[in-house]
Amino acid sequence: MKKYWFIFKTEVMSNMQYILNVLAGFIGYFIMLFIFFNLWKYIYNEPNQIINGYTMSQMIWYVIITEILWSVLSGRKYCAKIIDDVRGGNIAYNVNKPYNYIGYCLATHLGSCFIRAIMYIVLGMFIGLIFLGNFPSLNIFSILAVLITGILATVISTLLLTFIGLFSFIIEDANPFYWVYSKLILVLGTIFPIEYFPTFIQPILKFSPIYVVSYGPAHLFVNFNWAEFINIIIFQFIYIIIAYLMCSLVYKIGVKRLNVNGG
Amino acid sequence: MLMEVKNQLKVSLLAIKYAVMREMLNKVTFITNIIFMILNNASFIIQWLILFSLKDNVGGYSFKQVMLLWGIASATYGFAHFFFKKAFSLSDTINNGKLDVYLVQPKNVLLSAICTDVDVSAIGDMLYGYIMLFVYGFNISSFLLFTLFVICGGLIITCVSVILNSLSFWFQKSDIIADTGNSLMTNIATYPEGIFKGVVKILLFTLIPVGIANYLPVKIISEFNIYLFVIVIGVTILFIMLAFIIFNKGLKKYSSSNLMIARI
């Protein structure tokens, strides 16, 4: 565990050198929030109207949180790196190191998310307050609880992206799988809460990764209750175990198929 | 003059042809890239089905018009990224001194630099555009107008990218501005203009020409208007001229980095 903590710390320190790059990403985040702010303002006839259990303010805060989770993850870059490592053979440098490759990926990626997370949370809260002028009713304990679900959501997303990336061992380019995964998370989990979907789909979505990687933390933020927090945490731990086993399995199969041409 | 243009087009098309042949070496990857990009775009239909279940029209657009808007946005993006992929990373070409190879060729530098590679998944974007045209309602005139507007829109977003990336001739790190401009155009293009108000709406028809590349074509295909049609064509020509002028002005400031690269 110590070595993964060290990898995590190294990655955090290395990312602190590139804070300006993170600031550049803010512009994209702001654009998306601006679009959704306008969209929901148009959809809601008046701010106090309730649609599917959400006021306009709750809907926008929901999107602010899901967009933070999505932007902090920077999944496209991370997934593309694993795909390139597998396709280009760079993964050979990691195979013979005295660490578990999945653990290494998790530690490096969480390290790179750390600084981004702090900056996006501050910016997201600031934009929310400017756009809406209010803040959901949360106390220090509920804020901590939301943070914990947010961290676990990032762990699950990282493992699922690692799984997609490692899939390049089996088909050469796993990028298309990433596009579909990312769009499913974006459309079914980031833009709308589960309550917006037809009632027959809602139970399916509550068992899908969408519940644990985006809906859970964001819904807790806009409408916190402890019973739901415990429910989300249980689901998140189950997902972490499943996702980790899936990654280990595909890695095991992949490494057996690995051919490295020296050079 | 005409012969020169014809020759240049021939060379650019040949470069694209060879780039496609390179990509087709792995046929499975080639086809999955296209199919999954279509699926990727199609996933947004869910978003609009939900929004239209809440309100009869969004920003003054019916569901079919939003699908047409998506079709135009997707196909223009596909056209630009298929034929002019390198226009979207031109600042990297400039900053790293990779323009040298194009400077020694007896052809137009800008066209040679931006037509050297293709984005295979962009074929999926273009196909998706035409699928959306079928969803909206297909007839010969809408097909011809759609195709013309895809070319115009594709050229406009390519030119905007060339203009923003050309800032690299003058300023370091201007790639951030170019990336922001590109993502602004792409993200806004799929949302009806009616949801935006005031200054933003004016910007969409001027500095950020999403309105000209996407919104006006939807209006013209829905109900033909010769004035709007002339505006789209005129603005396209204006952006092409601006892109060439700014790139060529910047080129005079370019200095080689003595980078040695092999083009295979």
Interval A166-173 mean pLDDT: 82
Is residue B18 situated within a structural domain? no
Residues in chain B predicted with pLDDT less than 50, given as ranges, are: none
- Give the pLDDT confidence score for residue B127 in this predicted structure: 96
Chain B residues with CB under 8 Å of A51 CB are 54
Residue B172 lies in a domain: yes
- List chain A residues with CB under 8 Å of B194: 42
Report yes or no: A36 and A139 within 8 Å, Cβ to Cβ. no
pLDDT in tens, A212-221: 999 999 999 9
For A126, residues 6+ apart whose C-beta sits below 8 A from its C-beta are none
Q: Does residue B242 fall inside a structural domain?
A: yes
CB pairs under 8 A between A and B: 82
Predicted local distance difference test score (pLDDT) of residue B262: 60
Of A41, A43, A176, the CB nearest to B55: A43
Containing domain of residue B199, as a range?
A: 30-42+58-251
**How high is the pLDDT of residue B62?**
92
pLDDT band at A31 (very low <50, low <70, confident <90, very high): confident
Closest CA to A87 of A159, A162, A169: A169
Position B5 in a domain: no
In a domain, B246, yes or no: yes
* Residue A56 scores a pLDDT above 80: yes
Q: Which residue in A54, A168, A183, A210 has the most chain B C-beta atoms within 10 A of its own C-beta, making it the best mutation to test that interface?
A: A183
Q: What is the pLDDT of residues A38-54, one digit of tens each?
A: 899 889 888 788 998 89
Say what the pLDDT of residue B259 is.
64
Q: Which of B23, B47, B120 to mutate to test the interface with A (most CBs of A within 10 A)?
A: B47
| Best to test chain A binding among B36, B39, B48, B49 (most A CBs inside 10 Å) | B36
In A152-211, the residues whose Cβ lies within 8 Å of chain B are 171-173, 175-177, 179-180, 183-184, 186-188, 191-192, 196-197
Query: Is residue A227 predicted with pLDDT exceeding 90?
Result: yes
CA A115 and chain centroid, separation:
15
- Examine residue B162 and state whether it is found in any structural domain, yes or no: yes
CB-CB under 8 Å, A24 with B32 = no
CB atoms inside a 10 Å sphere around CB B175: 20
Q: Check pLDDT > 70 for residue A260.
A: no
Residue B258 within a domain: no
C-alpha to C-alpha distance for B101 and B109, rounded to whole angstroms: 9
pLDDT for residue A259 is more than 70? no
Separation CA A177–CA A166 (nearest Å)? 11
Give a yes or no: residue B150 inside a domain. yes
Summarize pLDDT for A114-133 with one digit per residue, the tens.
988 998 999 999 999 988 88
Q: How confident is the model at residue A261 (pLDDT cuts 50, 70, 90)?
A: low
Distance from CA of A225 to the nearest CA of B (A): 27
Query: Would you state the pLDDT for residue B229?
Result: 96
Q: Which pLDDT tens digit goes with each residue over A142-162?
A: 999 999 999 999 999 999 999
Spatial CB neighbours of B90, under 8 Å, sequence gap ≥ 6? B113, B114, B161, B162, B165, B166, B168, B178
Residues A34-58: b if buried by 16+ CB within 10 A, e if exposed: bbbbbbbebbbeeeeeebeebbbbb
Report the number of distinct structural domains present in chain B: 1
Which chain A residue has the Cα nearest residue B188?
Answer: A35
- Residue (of A52, A32, A80) closest to A186 by Cα position: A32
The pLDDT value recorded for residue A168 is: 85
Q: Which residues does residue B58 pair with via DSSP β-bridges, in sequence order?
A: B61
